């Protein structure tokens, strides 16, 4: 996917509507308790995470071995999607404007649906389920920074600074290069000044603002051979598209040519070298010295271990952690960053070259080792590959290590390098996985691609079109993805790959991370349902970190609103419990249920119940080993309003006998509801 760096362009952006929560009526008869119970003025680029609320990054095409566009998530009809996800009729979905009152459902609820909760048991994970409740990583409630999200009341667990602009970011002068995504725009990053200015700014989605709210931060380390020099060609951005000025690589799904005739590719005065380790004394300055005036940093080449040391001096004492990511989507460098990669393999045509396994692995090993030497306690995320890069990097069957899949090779190499060094060089196996749907019926089901072994109503060929964009046929075995990656079960699949390599007790198992993902339909309730489902899945299945990447306007966005079901359900920052307990549904196709206990509050329990149907469904909710529960308070995301709101009317009555409790609730169509039980 085209990605955006979380930088500050000096734009004040409207956040997703979450305030002024109006009470919503119960959907179903409140009286009938016998129901079955259940900058700058330039338009921001898609690789700038300070996109305006009316601008969203779009998927772009990557070249498969035959040169065709293969990697872009596609619509269910198989057509590559180069526009924002749309409604079935091709129009963008409703933006969420309208009444704060849910219309009554007159179709009548389904019957026989049961949700079963056991507060004393662990969640039913696909890989290594736990007998007891388990702690949920707060970092699964993460978001990519777009400039206005830290300021929201939502208590995000992790803010990411990433995207294609991270690849050529120079921390010593605060310059970046946007690469092919936006005509190789090169300029200062955001409102910050001085060393690592984009991370130290006191406004926007920065380390400073995130840590002030107790939110963790994921910063990207460039690992390619060049980063941006103090060479401002920002005017290229505004003239991009002029026939007289455009030559060379194409970008934006081949609709506009990149303006490269005025821009010298590396090696040139526009870039400086980028190296992992300095090998001499670091720049040092007091943590209170924001500008670090007079600090003798190395400027050509730039050293990433010196950058890590600088970040350690600034942020290591903060209660919230700062994580380090090994760049961004290196398997796409040949297409996104030919300005620094084109000459890696002389003679390759711009935008259609290769990135080998060892191109990525060797840099991950050297830069991670340098980072750990500078800051031993830092956690490293890698390899941050996307799409078919899980399997192929970007050298396909031509790679000397094929037919070993890339992630298998990567894990083994990082394990062996870690063992030799005596310290773990990989703390989170991080990938980008987009399952963008364009139809409501698809969006609410696609989260099952992350875990469900029974999700076979989506055929292997159809699954290929959703995520990888092709079937992976590169050798005589034929469709690699169909034969070896179906059903996807992406989370347990990655967990098993990790466990297959990290078999000894000397090294901790890396966690699983998705630093970019999106299920689509952000401007309809289906998008909120899908996002709520994913957040529940990540917690239940033991994911370490996940940061969603919105693809549509940040205003009236159901993806963003869904976070509040877990991290701000009452509009005042209330969050669900930190322990995942056992929760199951009798119909996993049309519903989901997640249950949360609190490690510090035994009498509290929250449920997030999800209805994927277009009609209401009544559910019987049975809770065993329950605390003494007497009341339920409900908060809901449904209808045309992209905000979580309290549900008005009579709440479902709870009946308990000993430690067994039950209640009934009728879920509105296409809805996600947080039930706060006390």
The CATH number covering residue 281 comes to 3.20.20.80
* Mean pLDDT computed over 77-81: 27
Q: Strand (E) positions, 438-564? A: 511-520, 545-548
Is residue 312, in this structure, part of any structural domain at all?
yes
Q: How much of the chain, in percent, has pLDDT values that exceed 70?
A: 76
pLDDT surpasses 80 at 292: no
Minimum mean pLDDT range among 80-89, 220-229, 545-554: 80-89
- Poorest-pLDDT segment among 279-293, 305-319, 368-382: 279-293
Residue 224 has pLDDT above 60, yes or no: yes
Secondary structure of 300-341 as H, E, C letters: CCEEHHHHHHHHHHHHCCCCCCEEEEECCCHHHHHHHCHHHH
pLDDT of residue 297: 83
Confidence of residue 625 (pLDDT cuts 50, 70, 90): very high
Instruction: Cis check for the bond before 383: say yes or no (omega within 30 of 0).
Output: yes
Inside any domain, residue 164? yes
Range ranked top by mean pLDDT from 61-70, 76-85, 176-185: 176-185
Averaged pLDDT for residues 503-513:
96
Mean pLDDT score across all residues of the chain: 82
Would you say residue 16 lies in a domain? Answer: no
- Identify whether 667 is part of a domain: no
Band (pLDDT 50/70/90 cuts) for residue 231 is confident
- pLDDT tens-digit series, residues 18-66: 233 333 333 222 222 222 222 222 223 333 343 333 333 333 333 444 4
pLDDT of residue 123: 98
**pLDDT on residue 288:** 64
Q: What is the mean pLDDT of residues 403-417?
A: 98
| 533 inside domain | yes
- pLDDT band at residue 194 using 50, 70 and 90 as cut-offs: confident
Kindly state the average pLDDT of the residues 621-633.
98
Whether 411 contacts 512, CB under 8 Å: no
- Cβ atoms of 654 and 603 within 8 Å: the answer is no
* Structure-model confidence comparison of residues 100 and 581, the more confident one: 581
In a domain, 463, yes or no: no
Specify the number of domains making up the chain.
Answer: 1
Distance of alpha carbon 200 from alpha carbon 204, whole angstroms: 10
Can you give the pLDDT at residue 111?
A: 55
pLDDT in tens, 640-661: 999 999 999 999 999 999 999 9
pLDDT-derived band at 424 (thresholds 50, 70, 90) equals very high
Residue 464: per-residue pLDDT: 98
Helices (H), 546-625: 558-567
Q: Specify the pLDDT at position 57.
A: 38
Give 190's pLDDT tier (boundaries 50, 70, 90). confident
Top pLDDT among 43 and 407 is at 407
Asked if residue 594 lies in contact with residue 133, where contact means CB atoms within 8 angstroms, the answer is no
Tell me the pLDDT tens digit for each residue of 353-364: 799 999 999 999
Sequence length of the chain is 678
Q: Span 168-192, mean pLDDT?
A: 85
Contacts of 107 (CB under 8 A, 6+ apart): 615, 616
| Model confidence at 3: pLDDT above 90 | no
**pLDDT higher than 70, residue 84:** no
Q: What is the pLDDT of residue 162?
A: 96
pLDDT at position 236: 55
Domain that holds residue 381: 45-96+137-456+488-570
β-strand pairing of 142-144 with 545-548: parallel
Whether 347 shows a pLDDT value over 90: the answer reads no
Mean of pLDDT values over 196-212: 95
592 is a domain residue:
no
Residue 514 lies in a domain: yes
Instruction: For residue 298, name the pLDDT band (cuts at 50, 70, 90).
Output: confident
| pLDDT of 102 strictly over 70 | no
At residue 41's C-alpha, the angle toward residues 255 and 212, to 5°, is: 105
């Amino acid at each position: 996917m085209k990605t955006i760096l979380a930088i500050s362009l000096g734009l004040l952006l409207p956040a997703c509507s979450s305030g002024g929560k109006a009470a919503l009526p119960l959907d179903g008869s409140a009286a009938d308790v016998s129901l079955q119970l259940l900058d700058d003025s330039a338009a921001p680029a898609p690789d700038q995470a300070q996109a305006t609320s009316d601008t969203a990054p779009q998927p772009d095409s990557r070249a498969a071995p035959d040169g065709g566009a293969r990697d872009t998530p596609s619509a269910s009809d198989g057509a590559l999607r180069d526009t924002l996800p749309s409604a079935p009729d091709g129009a963008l979905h409703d933006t969420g404007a309208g009444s704060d009152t849910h219309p009554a459902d007159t179709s009548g609820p389904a019957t026989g649906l049961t949700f079963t909760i056991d507060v004393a048991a662990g969640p039913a994970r696909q890989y290594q389920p736990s007998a007891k409740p388990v702690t949920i990583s707060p970092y699964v409630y993460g978001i990519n920074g777009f400039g206005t999200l830290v300021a929201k009341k939502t208590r995000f667990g992790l803010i990411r600074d990433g995207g294609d602009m991270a690849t050529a970011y120079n921390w010593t002068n605060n310059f970046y290069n946007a690469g092919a995504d936006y005509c190789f725009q090169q300029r200062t990053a955001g409102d910050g000044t001085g060393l690592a200015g984009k991370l130290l700014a006191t406004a926007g989605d920065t380390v400073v603002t995130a840590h002030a709210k107790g939110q963790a931060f994921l910063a990207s380390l460039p690992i390619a051979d060049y980063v941006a020099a103090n060479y401002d060609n920002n005017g290229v951005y505004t003239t991009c598209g002029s026939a007289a000025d455009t030559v060379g690589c194409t970008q934006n799904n081949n609709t506009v040519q990149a303006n490269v005739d005025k821009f010298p590719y590396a090696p040139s005065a526009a870039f400086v070298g980028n190296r992992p380790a300095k090998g001499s004394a670091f720049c040092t300055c007091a943590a209170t010295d924001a500008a670090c005036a007079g600090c003798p940093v190395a400027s050509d080449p730039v050293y990433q271990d010196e950058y890590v040391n600088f970040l350690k001096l600034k942020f290591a004492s903060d209660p919230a952690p700062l994580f380090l990511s090994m760049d961004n989507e290196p398997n796409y460098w040949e297409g996104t960053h030919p300005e620094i990669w084109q000459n890696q393999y002389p003679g390759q045509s711009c935008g259609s070259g290769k990135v080998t396994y060892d191109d990525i692995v060797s840099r991950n090993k050297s830069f991670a080792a340098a980072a750990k030497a500078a800051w031993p306690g830092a956690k490293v995320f890698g390899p941050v590959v996307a799409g078919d890069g899980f399997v192929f990097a970007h050298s396909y069957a031509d790679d000397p290590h094929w037919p070993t899949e890339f992630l298998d090779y990567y894990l083994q190499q990082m394990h062996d390098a870690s063992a030799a060094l005596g310290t773990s060089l990989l703390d989170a196996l991080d990938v980008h996985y987009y399952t963008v749907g364009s139809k409501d019926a698809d969006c609410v089901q696609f989260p099952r691609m992350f875990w469900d072994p029974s999700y076979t109503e989506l055929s292997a060929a159809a699954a290929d079109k959703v995520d990888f964009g092709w079937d992976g046929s590169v050798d005589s075995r034929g469709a690699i993805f169909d034969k070896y990656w179906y059903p996807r079960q992406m989370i347990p699949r990655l967990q098993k790959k990790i466990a297959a390599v990290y078999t000894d007790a000397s090294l901790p198992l890396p966690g699983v991370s998705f630093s970019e993902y999106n299920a689509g339909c952000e401007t309809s309730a289906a998008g909120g349902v899908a996002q709520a489902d994913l957040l529940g899945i990540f917690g239940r299945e033991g994911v370490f970190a996940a940061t969603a990447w919105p693809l549509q306007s940040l205003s009236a966005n159901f993806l963003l609103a869904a976070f509040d079901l877990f991290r701000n359900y009452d509009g005042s920052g209330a969050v669900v419990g930190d322990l995942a307990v056992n929760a199951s549904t009798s119909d996993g196709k049309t519903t989901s249920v997640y249950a949360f206990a609190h490690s510090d509050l035994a009498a509290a329990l929250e449920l997030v119940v999800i209805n994927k149907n277009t009609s209401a469904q009544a559910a019987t909710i049975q809770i065993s080993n329950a605390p003494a529960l007497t009341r339920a308070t409900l908060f809901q995301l449904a209808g045309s309003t992209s905000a979580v709101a309290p549900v008005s009317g009579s709440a479902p009555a709870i009946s308990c006998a000993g430690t067994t409790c039950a209640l009934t609730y009728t879920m509105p169509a296409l809805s996600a509801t947080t039930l706060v039980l006390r």
